[in-house]
């Protein structure tokens, strides 16, 4: 079962991100219901491993925290693949990411060791962009890279099942985990 763990932005933030999508006439916008910040992409996993992971994620010791969005960017260098909303630095987000990855590894899910680059994908670009589309994207980023986007309080995270279809992916929530305060141990 293709799956991932993510944070979903609240409606107010989602609406602001959808307005950004509307201003760039190239690429394939990510549907509003699919906007998320991936904590760990798990790839295809057996259902039993996901049940085991569910038990581990339910015990992740983390409290709610504020998250800032810090403008827009593109991944892919000269051949951009996606336009994204950047996420500002957050120790709490980094800790949550590490806790989710550790939980996945404890149940036997093998994850690559790669740098965590928190972002919310807004638009996907198919294959190679035409020179006109590349100019449009560069102009868009020159003008909008520092766009002010609303931040939000992260109060939960979600384990999703993702199914690929011709029109894009469909994400189904398998379980959601409230972030709670870490008990004081002194």
pLDDT tens digits, one per residue of 71-128:
999 998 878 999 999 999 999 999 999 999 999 999 999 998 888 999 999 999 988 8
What DSSP assignment string belongs to 30-52? PPGGG--EEEEEEEE--HHHHHH
Q: Which of 97, 119, 165, 171 is catalytic?
A: 119
Question: What is residue 184's predicted lDDT score, i.e. its pLDDT?
Answer: 47
**3-class DSSP assignment, residue 52:** helix
Question: What is residue 113's predicted lDDT score, i.e. its pLDDT?
Answer: 86
Report residue 167's pLDDT band, with 50, 70 and 90 as the boundaries. confident
Q: What kind and span of H or E run contains 55? A: helix 47-57
**Fold category of 2-178 in CATH:** Cyclic Phosphodiesterase; Chain: A, (3.90.1140)
Average pLDDT, the chain: 92
Domain ranges of the chain: 2-178
- For residue range 2-14, what is the model confidence (pLDDT) as tens digits? 999 999 999 999 9
Report residue 181's pLDDT band, with 50, 70 and 90 as the boundaries. low
Active-site annotation holds for 36: yes
The pTM assigned to this predicted structure is 0.91
Over 50: is that where the pLDDT of 164 sits? yes
Question: What is residue 62's predicted lDDT score, i.e. its pLDDT?
Answer: 86
Active-site annotation holds for 144: no
List, in sequence order, every residue forming a beta bridge with 85; answer none if it has no partner: 72, 120
* 57-75: average pLDDT: 93
């Amino acid at each position: 079962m293709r799956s991932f763990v993510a944070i979903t932005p609240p409606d107010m933030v989602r609406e602001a991100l959808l307005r950004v999508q509307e201003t760039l006439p190239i690429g394939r916008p990510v549907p509003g219901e699919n906007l998320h910040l991936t904590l760990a992409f798990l790839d295809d996993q057996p259902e039993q491993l996901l049940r085991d992971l569910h038990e581990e994620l339910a015990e992740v010791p983390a409290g709610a925290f504020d998250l800032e969005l810090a403008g827009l960017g593109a991944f892919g260098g000269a051949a951009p693949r996606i336009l994204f909303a950047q996420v500002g630095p957050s120790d709490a987000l980094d800790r949550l990411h590490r806790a989710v990855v550790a939980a996945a590894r404890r149940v036997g899910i093998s994850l690559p060791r790669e740098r965590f680059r928190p972002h919310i994908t807004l638009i996907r670009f198919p294959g190679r962009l035409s020179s006109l589309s590349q100019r449009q994207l560069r102009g868009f980023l020159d003008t909008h890279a520092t766009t002010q986007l609303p931040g939000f309080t992260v109060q939960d995270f979600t384990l999703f099942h993702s199914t690929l279809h011709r029109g894009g992916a469909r994400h189904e929530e398998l379980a959601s985990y409230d972030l709670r305060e870490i008990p004081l141990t002194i």
